[in-house]
Amino acid sequence: SSHGLQWYGKYANENVIGWLRDDWNSQIWRSAMYLTEGGYLNSKAIKTKVIDSVEAAIKLGVYVIVDWHVLGNGDPMVHLEQSKEFFDEMSKKYGSYPNVLWEICNEPNGDKVTWEGNIKPYAEEIVKVIRANDPDNIIIVGTPRWSQRVDLASKNQIKGDNIMYTLHFYAGSHGKANRKLVKTALKNGAALFCTEWGTTKESGDGGVFEKETKEWLNFLERNNISWTNWAVNNKGEDSGILAFGKDKDAKGGWTDKDLSPDGKFLRKILRNELDK
Ligand code: DCB
């Protein structure tokens, strides 16, 4: 996954996505388009970063997730109209390309933001908009509590085909108890996509938790759950794959000294060079 496009959007380009494909065995890119914190609500120009990455992914033959990165604005309903407009335009443009996936609300959060009251009604509106242009690309729907409560969504699923639910975790903060929620969702027949996880604590920092990461990845593999990892950046936080300040030009071609401990670990995982 990209980091917030408003900060590290320069990595959402063909060179980097191509390098990740060829050197890291990556099959997918996610472009995280924040709404708040200087994101889309501040300037719609950030959309060009998403478009660049989708064009690159089509050219390179990799999957791409278009992520409406609900975060600071915990309730996706608040920006329903903006979201409708965005996904209408994007699905008109790219709905005929089967490698494009729509992630319509990254991480709903807040005690008052519920599946029944907020997220599901929001998703039904957006599904309608996308399906008018695009009959079948995968739509991934966020779940309560920063996309951890997949069990709640699974009990009351959205009608329609090719709809999945978002599962997120940070290995240093979330473990067995969260996997139990996942098992419930799978038992209820929900299709899950782990569009964001980190080797760190839920802050995106606080150390790399290798043992806990392996437990999660084995679990995902056993249950056929695809994933994208947080995140491609050189900010210096532990979940960033680049060492602090490296690859300022965002060209890819990284050697070990360009990578952070998280980056070296992730590369091994994707290249299947790690002992399970
Ligand atoms: C998610 C967000 C993602 C966030 C990561 C790590 O948030 F989807 O945007 O990324 O997980 O926290 C972080 C960046 C930082 C940046 C910060 C704010 O890595 O550089 O400063 O976003 O934009 C989560 C996930 C889980 C939980 C809370 C958050 N949780 N959260 O379980 O409490 O509040 O951001």
User: Tell me, what amino acid is at 257?
Assistant: K
- Rounded mean pLDDT of 172-177? 98
Give the count of alpha carbons within 13 A of 230, CB side only.
27
Q: Look at residue 276 in the predicted model and tell me its pLDDT.
A: 65
CA 117 to chain centre: 23
Q: What percent of the chain has pLDDT over 90?
A: 99
Q: Look at residue 128 in the predicted model and tell me its pLDDT.
A: 98
Q: What percent of the chain has pLDDT over 70?
A: 100
- Rounded mean pLDDT of 215-239? 98
> Exposed (0-12), middle (13-18) or buried (19+): which is 15, by Cβ within 10 Å?
middle
Beta bridge partners of 232: 2
Task: Quick: pLDDT tens for 1-39.
Answer: 999 999 999 999 999 999 999 999 999 999 999 999 999
Pocket test for ligand 1, best of 146, 178, 238 (most atoms within 8 A of CB): 146
Q: Residue of the nearest CA to atom 27 in ligand 1?
A: 202
Q: Look at residue 275 in the predicted model and tell me its pLDDT.
A: 77
Residue 201 binned pLDDT confidence (cut-offs 50, 70, 90): very high
**Rounded distance from Cα 71 to ligand 1 centre (Å):** 8
Q: What is the DSSP letter of 11?
A: G
Q: What is the DSSP letter of 65?
A: E
Q: Look at residue 206 in the predicted model and tell me its pLDDT.
A: 98
Q: Name the pTM for this structure.
A: 0.98
Query: Mean pLDDT in the chain?
Result: 98
Q: Look at residue 138 in the predicted model and tell me its pLDDT.
A: 98
Residues whose beta carbon lies within 6 Å of some atom of ligand 1: 4, 37, 71, 106-107, 146, 196, 202-204, 230, 235, 237, 239
Question: Do residues 171 and 183 make contact, with C-beta atoms less than 8 angstroms apart?
Answer: no
Task: Quick: pLDDT tens for 106-151.
Answer: 999 999 999 999 999 999 999 999 999 999 999 999 999 999 999 9
Q: Look at residue 176 in the predicted model and tell me its pLDDT.
A: 98
State the residue for tokens 């996997």: 179
Query: Would you state the structure tokens that stand for residue 136, as one six-digit string?
Result: 């079948």
**Rounded distance from Cα 203 to ligand 1 centre (Å):** 5
Q: Considering only CA atoms, which of 65, 3, 4 is closest in space to residue 40? A: 4
Q: Considering only CA atoms, which of 186, 120, 184 is closest in space to residue 158? A: 120
Q: Considering only CA atoms, which of 104, 107, 121 is closest in space to residue 150? A: 107
**Rounded distance from Cα 107 to ligand 1 centre (Å):** 9
Give the residue numbers annotated as catalytic, written as ranges: 107, 196
